[in-house]
Amino acid sequence: MTELLKIVMLDPHLLRKDIDAVSRGLAKRGFELDIERLQSLERQRKEIQVRTEELQAERNRQSKAIGKAKAAGEDIEPLRAQVACLGDELKSSQARLEEIQEELDEFLRGVPNVPHESVPAGDSEDDNEVIRAWGELEVQDFVPKDHTTLGETLGLIDFEAATRIAGSRFVVMTGAIARLHRALIQFMLDVHTREHEYVEINVPYLVNPDSLFGTGQLPKFAEDQFHIEKQDLYLIPTAEVPVTNVARDAIIDSEKLPLKYVCHSPCFRSEAGSYGQDTRGMIRQHQFEKVELVQIVRPADSYRILEELTDHAENILQQLGLPYRVVVLCGGDLGFSAAKTYDLEVWLPSQRRYREISSCSNFEDFQARRMKARWRNPATGKPELVHTLNGSGLAVGRTLIAIMENCQDENGHIHIPEALHPYMDGMTVIQ
């Protein structure tokens, strides 16, 4: 492994020191690192680069010789022919070097982050480990309705109208449900800015390919994005993308860390594939809204801050009185860029199961390396990569669903959590 590893998305020092350890770590998440191909590409790149540098040096030497021969009145045509031949060979060598470099870059761009040592082994969400649970699961003396039935019965959620306007997996909310949705956004922003000391930020909802590459959505997850081809811009899949990219190509002063941002935004995902019952209702849609938490921190602080950020997301659920549990994702269920992730799963009575409402992740320096996001370490005076973290605080639509289902009564009325009363102009029940 040589200088090429400066472009890799993993720590080049770790790859040089023990590529087998990297391979074992990636295997924990079900990714097989093709070490033989990687090392073969690197050998080819090194050989061609050495040859290219030799040809460049020889051409420079011969060019100087032409100048001396001309000054001495000697015949320079043989030397000109040699330089022309060297130039052709140099161009061919440079072209081949670019081809190998691109092949190697493409290979490395597809390598995910290495899981933290504390991440449990496992192949799927069935192997995730429950860390803790909060709230009582009330046994209702009636059959709870799902959010779709509740909303349509109240006449406040209309999927048919959304289908006419846009297509499937969209929704139109009106009246008290639309207001409750807005109240949740304002409540979450207020809690995170006032109690958790995040700075509210407003960002573009369209981003360029570099931004998606920086946070790890491109190139691997291109099919999940909505792409505006003419301008080569993408609708954001989450506010994580534009907010984290605020630090791209920057060197942040130590005293400014951690950067703590909270951002409300719509999110757009193509959701390729079928998800069974999730295609009904608001569980999985092409357009939804989130309040996102992003922290950019010193590397030594990132795992402490992961616990802190997770607690901030949990606090929203606790203030709303919604039962939930926290699970740590196993290697096989871990996102491409994450080193460790906690999922918060809220209880949905109609499904008799917990469903994800937030993912809180530490990406360590994986995203920072792609974005060239750095801080100046006062101990060395040199720029070093930051660590990045993010989490939903929370997904607004799924929080709305959880309130509708957990706070319903036998008449199909929805009792609004007390924490939201100030945001609902005195309304306490939707009926």
pTM for this structure?
0.89
pLDDT at 42: 85
Positive or negative, the CA dihedral 135, 136, 137, 142 is negative
**Terminal C-alpha separation, the chain:** 66
Catalytic residue among 103, 152, 271, 356: 356
CB atoms near residue 38 (< 10 Å): 21
Q: Enter the tokens of residue 84.
A: 């022309």
Q: Annotated catalytic residue: which of 51, 96, 248, 284? A: 284
CA–CA dist 327, 349 (Å, integer): 19
Q: Which DSSP helix (H) or strand (E) runs through 195?
A: none
Is residue 169 annotated as a catalytic residue, yes or no? no
- Which entry of 265, 359, 361, 392 is annotated as an active-site residue? 359
Beta carbons within 10 angstroms of residue 263's beta carbon: 25
Dihedral angle over CA of 211, 289, 322, 150, nearest 10: -150
- Give CA–CA dist 333/343, Å, rounded: 11
329 near 119, Cβ under 8 Å? yes
What angle do the packed helices 77-109 and 35-71 form, to 10 degrees? 160
- What is residue 278's predicted lDDT score, i.e. its pLDDT? 65
Q: Which of 45, 59, 179, 398 is catalytic?
A: 398
> How many CA atoms does the CB half-sphere of 110 hold within 13 Å?
12
Q: How far apart are CA 334 and CA 389, in angstroms?
A: 14
d(CA 131, CA 270): 31
Task: Kindly report the backbone phi and psi dihedral angles of residue 389, in degrees, each rounded to the nearest multiple of 5, phi listed first.
Answer: -140, 155
pLDDT at 296: 98
CA angle 8-359-309, nearest 5°?
Answer: 90
Instruction: Round to whole Å and give the CA distance between 313 and 188.
Output: 9
- Alpha-carbon span 79 to 63, nearest angstrom: 8
Query: Is the omega angle on the peptide bond into residue 329 within 30 degrees of 0, that is, cis?
Result: no
96 is an active site residue = no
- What pLDDT tens digit does each residue of the chain (431 aa) get? 333 333 445 666 666 677 888 999 999 999 999 999 988 988 899 999 999 999 888 888 888 888 888 888 888 888 788 888 888 888 999 999 999 998 988 888 889 999 999 999 999 999 999 999 999 998 788 999 999 999 999 999 999 999 999 999 999 999 999 999 999 999 999 999 999 999 999 999 999 999 999 999 998 899 999 999 999 999 999 999 999 999 999 999 999 999 999 999 999 999 765 555 566 789 999 999 999 999 999 999 999 999 999 999 999 999 999 999 999 999 999 999 999 999 999 999 999 999 999 999 999 999 999 999 999 999 999 999 999 999 999 999 999 999 999 999 999 999 999 999 999 998 999 99
Query: Beta partners for 325?
Result: 133, 345
CB 25 within 8 A of CB 114: yes
Give the separation between CA 138 and CA 344, rounded to whole angstroms: 19
398 is catalytic: yes
180-215 burial string, b = 16+ CB within 10 Å, else e?
bbebbbebbbebbeeebebeebebebebebebbbbb
Strands (E), 269-386: 287-297, 324-328, 340-348, 353-362, 374-377, 382-385
8 A C-beta contact, residue 259 and residue 298: no
Residue 160 annotated to the active site: no
Determine the pLDDT at residue 279.
Answer: 64
Find out whether 188 and 394 touch, Cβ atoms under 8 Å. Answer: yes
Examine the residue annotation and report whether 369 is marked as an active-site residue of this protein. no
Angle between helices 19-27 and 35-71 (to 10 degrees): 140
Q: Report the C-alpha gap between 166 and 201 in whole angstroms.
A: 29
Instruction: Give every strand in the sheet of 324-328, ordered side by side.
Output: 129-134, 324-328, 340-348, 353-362, 387-395, 287-297, 259-268, 199-200
